[in-house]
Structure 1
Amino acid sequence: MTTRIATRFAALREEGRPALVTFITAGDPDGETSLEILRALPEAGADIIELGVPFTDPMADGPAIQAGGLRALKAGQTLAKTLAMVKAFRVADNETPIVLMGYFNPIYIYGVERFLVDARAAGVDGLIVVDLPPEEDDELCLPALEAGLDFIRLATPTTDDKRLRVVLKNTAGFVYYVSITGITGSATPNADVVGAAVARIKGHTPLPVAVGFGVKTPEQARAIAAGADGVVVGSALVETVRCSLDEAGHATAETVPAVCKVVRGLAEAVRSVRR
């Protein structure tokens, strides 16, 4: 079965350009505004959307995304509401791939079997669960693949060739290369080093490789896109949300337009890279 993710990357290969993958936190700063942002992302230039599932102990996330998660949780966001967001998005957009990104605990509490059924019904295309290593594929990865959801793995600068083979074994959709060692948004990636790492990964898999963590500006996105199949931007968008809020932390008339403006700039930069 061909997923929306595979279809989108195939279309981009035909166009001869990389993908812009955008990350936002579901429910940040509130459910209604978050859904507005989600709906606006494709027109602004997002090719694939990662929707963060807020969690109280986000160990891989930097300060910006941690803060976004806390805002979402404070506003009452849950995994069930996140799935409802995807379902609402699908009313008008049945093509843009959506990947849920987060941690296993909320899924475990929700119930794995129930979650997979509901995620598929809502229109989710893939999962990134950062705290489930390949050794625990039976917990979620294999059932997700069986249910028709891509399970996307992270590879890092410290993933050697031996470990990479293990990581890639059940990976589907694309490989997410973490361009820096550390948490999200904590440093700036070196485009040359990243390009070499992507080439090494592609020597082990036919899957597209998207690069994230630390990409914030159009210039950085363009440089990374030159050596990757996709560029992931998250912290910069979540920080844009924060900067648009009023003193009480509530959304303003500028919140959605501000995020869209940043995405348009990133999309223009990524789309300027031709294969």
Structure 2
Amino acid sequence: MTRIDDTFARLKAQNRKAFVTYIMAGDPDAATTAKVMAGLPGAGVDIIEIGLPFTDPMADGPTIQLAGQRALEGGMTLQGVLDLITEFRKSDDTTPIVLMGYYNPIYSRGVDRFLADAKAAGIDGMIVVDLPPEEDTELCTPAQAAGLNFIRLATPTSDEKRLPKVLQNTSGFLYYVSINGITGTGSADAAKVAPEVARIKQSTDLPVIVGFGIKTPDASEAIAAVADGCVVGSAIVDRIAQGDSVQDVLAYVKTLADGAHRG
């Protein structure tokens, strides 16, 4: 059982939905990321996704691409991300952390070394968007053996033929992408998401969390109501990019969390 598994068990017992947030590590700098991370649980966040900046983020829209560029220009590295998480764990040993990124930095470090370091830092799971199920032996299987959840993305095009492959070896939760396309574009539509979540849940007992296109408390409430929870990323990253104070960012996050928890 990981912290992710424990969190969903607790939320289920409380009949509550999960609220998940994404922030880019090192945007605009490591100190700001540390302050935002430290404040997220108090703002109602159940699970934190932290982005590992990469030079070629093919699944991300302009908002997260630019955040990654700023982080890299500021000197953020994989080791820097691990250091941020290690520091966070000194004061919070319960909130699950999911590392979200691309395989190249992990491959460069070496899978065995990375997994040992990730576990030691306090990472609970990972989303590596450019490793399909056909490549499970690269990272997914070793990660599961190391006690880390490997979380996959399903999309509106994950049909009955593809879905079993997506669910293969997935653990923690399934991340359902509410729209076709990249992050930060479009708006999630609960009426369209609901039947897709129901279809997926016929094939898995995993919690289904919906992300992409959620920007308001009403949207987080509507999406959480038809799933096991929701993820907000680009809208929060936008606030950070605009130069909002940490206090203002966390206040905004709390409105979204309150919406999701009403769902």
TM bucket by the smaller chain? over 0.9
In 2, Cα distance between the equivalents of 1:238 and 1:257? 14
For 1:192 and 1:14, how far apart are their aligned partners in 2?
Answer: 26
Q: Gaps (5+ residues) in structure 2? A: none
Residue-by-residue CA offset, 1:187-224 (whole Å, 9 max, x unaligned): 01210110111111111000000000111111111110
1:162 Cα deviation (Å)?
1.6
2:261 matched to 1:271? yes
Paired position in structure 2 for 1:228: 227
Q: Describe how 1:57-96 pairs up with structure 2 within 5 A.
A: 57-96=56-95
Contact 1:198 1:227 in 2 (8 A): yes
- What code does the residue aligned with 1:192 have? A
Partner of 1:36: 35
For the residue of structure 2 that corresponds to 1:257, the secondary structure is helix
Distance 1:265 1:74 in 2: 31
Structure 2: which amino acid aligns with 1:267? Answer: A
What is the aligned length?
263
Q: Return the TM-score normalized by structure 1.
A: 0.95
Most deviating of 177-186 and 254-263: 254-263
After the TM superposition, which parts of structure 1 deviate over 4 Å for at least 4 consecutive aligned residues? none
- Distance in 1 (CA, whole Å) between partners of 2:38 and 2:224 is 24
Query: 1: CA distance between counterparts of 2:130 and 2:66?
Result: 19
In the TM superposition, residue 150 of structure 1 has moved relative to its aligned partner by: 0.1
State the 1:96 CA deviation: 0.2
- In 1, Cα distance between equivalents of 2:51 and 2:165: 25
Among 230, 237, 250, the alignment partner of 1:260 is 250
Deviations 1:149-195 (A, max 9, x none): 00000000000012100110100000000000000011012101101
Partner of 1:99: 98
Paired residues for 1:49-60 under 5 Å: 49-60=48-59
For 2:260 and 2:127, the matched residues in 1 are separated by 23
Q: Secondary structure at the match of 2:108?
A: helix
Q: Report the equivalent of 1:158.
A: 157
| Cα deviation 1:198-252 (Å, max 9, x = unaligned) | 11111100000000011111111111011010100000000000111xxxxxxxx
Point out the more displaced range, 262-271 or 151-160.
Answer: 262-271
1:145 lines up with 2:144 in the alignment: yes
Which one-letter code corresponds to 1:263 in the other structure? Answer: V
The answer as to 2:22 corresponding to 1:23 is yes
Q: Which amino acid counterpart does residue 93 of structure 1 have in structure 2?
A: D
8 A Cα contact 1:241 1:258, kept in partner: no
Q: Percent identity?
A: 59
Cα shift at 1:271: 1.3
- What's the secondary structure of 1:193's corresponding residue? helix
Q: Separation in 2 of the partners of 1:240 and 1:181? A: 24
The aligned amino acid for 1:91 is K
Partner-residue secondary structure (3-state), 2:213: coil
Query: 2:230 aligns to what SS in structure 1?
Result: strand
Paired position in structure 2 for 1:6? 5
Q: CA deviation at 1:272?
A: 1.4
2:255 is matched by which residue type in structure 1? G
Alignment of 1:90-129 (within 5 A): 90-129=89-128
Unaligned 5+ runs, structure 1: 245-253
Q: Which residue of 1 aligns with 2:131?
A: 132
Q: Per-residue deviation at 1:255?
A: 2.3
1:111-150 CA-to-partner distances (Å, cap 9, x unmatched) read: 1110000000000000000000000000000000000000
Q: What TM-score do the two structures reach when normalised by structure 2? A: 0.99
- Structure 2 matches for 1:189-268, cutoff 5 A? 189-244=188-243, 254-268=244-258
> For each residue in 1:250-269, what CA deviation from the matched residue of structure 2 results, as whole angstroms up to 9, or x when unmatched?
xxxx5211210111100111
255-264 or 200-209, which deviates more: 255-264
- Give the secondary-structure state (helix, strand or coil) at the position aligned to 1:183: coil
